[in-house]
Structure 1
Amino acid sequence: MEYRRYPSSTAILPDGHLWIVSFEDKVLRADPAQDDVSAGLEVVRVGSSGSWLYDGLLALDPEGMLIASGGEPDRRDGLRRRRVSLRDGSTVSKTNPWALRPTPEEMGWRLSPKFSRAELAEAEEWNALGYLYGLGGPPPYGTDRLMAFSTDGRVALAVTTTYRVDIYDSLLRPVTVIERDEQGPQLTAAERRNAVAHTAARRRDEEFYPYVDSDIPDRKPPLRDLWFDRDGRLWLERYLANEPQQQGADVYGVDGDYLFSAEWPRGVDFGYGAIRGDTGLGVQTDALGIPRVVRVRFSAEEADP
């Protein structure tokens, strides 16, 4: 079957169905409880632009609209999210949450002086300056931008150097702001040595790397990562002080209220959002670079709001 050969993403959304992004702008819906899932596939054709969909970021908003992401035809400025009617597959509205992110210049990223005027002019003509900035930034523990999407259509945006997260609904209307006056912990001597070695290696191996040792900050950012879990809660991962074997996050409810803080063994990545209740499935990579799926049970004291 074509759907078995060319799925680009799968997700189980809050309605309990298995959703599959396939080629030719198709989204497929199935009941995962059926013995033969493929026999019950329903097809929602999302537009007719010729494979604009890309993997991930499927959602169902509170009005029952499917939200799918992909490249906008004949535009150079990247991606769009479409709210799609499940009745006929027509586009109800479009949004561009990526446009809300700060630019590399606003975050303090730098371009390498080795780029020629002609290279910069060509990149600007093709709206590709962000790519050139991305070749070098950010430096270790420098300013980065974070974005997460929930399965009900919400979008969370943050900059790592400030404990502030702006949350929007599926139409990019502001919902709430989560904010604390908090700094990240200071770098230890070992962390600074590792960061200096990393920067030196990149300057040696990458022609256009623009950062030097003095660009490494004295403190880590207050935020490291963010994601929504399967219950719609927002997890804000923090850098912990003097806890080399642990990672941790603050967890907020759908209304933006603080629920609890959790810690787990270092090296387990929960960025895929596979957490429900007090149990999470994460990806842990060993010293040889081999990933494995691990299950973590958060303590009842931590998971009780």
Structure 2
Amino acid sequence: MMSPPTTVLLPTITWSPVIAEIATQLGPSDELLIICDDASDPVADYDEEFQNVRIIVAGEPTGCSGKAHALATGMDEATNHRIVWTDDDFHHPQDWLATFHEAYDNHGPVSELYFFVGNDPLSTLLEPIYAIGGTLGTYADDKPWGGAVMFERDDLDLESFLRDLRRTISDDQLLSEYLETTTLKRIHRVEIGGTVRETLERHVRFTQIIHQHNPWDTATMGLVTLLLAAFSFVAPLYAGIGVTLLAAGVYTYFGVWRWTALLASPAIILQVPLLIYALARRTFVWGGRRYRWQSKFDVEIVE
């Protein structure tokens, strides 16, 4: 069965091989919208090697994150009924879009999964935390991931969603409040970090996303983390074995084979001060902008 015309939204400011990876998978009526901030961004000079690729200059955001603004702009510019959101920081195999269409036809709105791979000491240490709380949590709760999600316009209250998207930080967390998805057990490895400072800023953002959208989840996460950390001090051998086996089980379940599962025990202990730090921070940096996030729909761009 032929898939309906589809618009793929790719927020990015730089050219990457991902553009060609996606463009070569598009059908004649499909389109790829590359959404950047400014006409001076490197990707704005893309020579449009593929006819069904368009560059959209979103401009500077006001009262929301740069990515939320880019996606809202892309949604306004999209000409097709079926929509895909994706990112430029992971490989899109040749059958990625076709497999996505097949999954949508079977399940309705669908999302894929991420597995964060650290490339600095702190992000490497935190890999087990992100695997258990992020990858497993997203899969278990059937939450959409903005890096790979497919839906159609009438799957959600689009007008209200776009209104709220233009006044918040997290695109996929907000989407989860408007859209019921089936999260597929298909993993994309996404490299994160680069420097310890970048990892700290990302960790603050992740923590505050949970806190702003689901404050009770923050309390639960804090309590569980504190109990596990206390157990690690009282019975370090048993706790170490237990959390390491948990992390190894999660890695294995998702088909990821990395030695970082062995870091689960120290990562749990470190998560206690990191959680306190993340909740105490009043601002954080994402994509070159500093945000002050007062409440779910109260976002100030400080720099």
TM > 0.5 fold call:
no
- Judging by fraction of residues, say which structure has more helix: 2
Higher relative contact order (CA 8 A, sep 6+): 2
TM-score between both structures, scaled by the size of structure 1: 0.28
TM-score normalised per structure 2 = 0.29
Rg bigger for which structure? 1
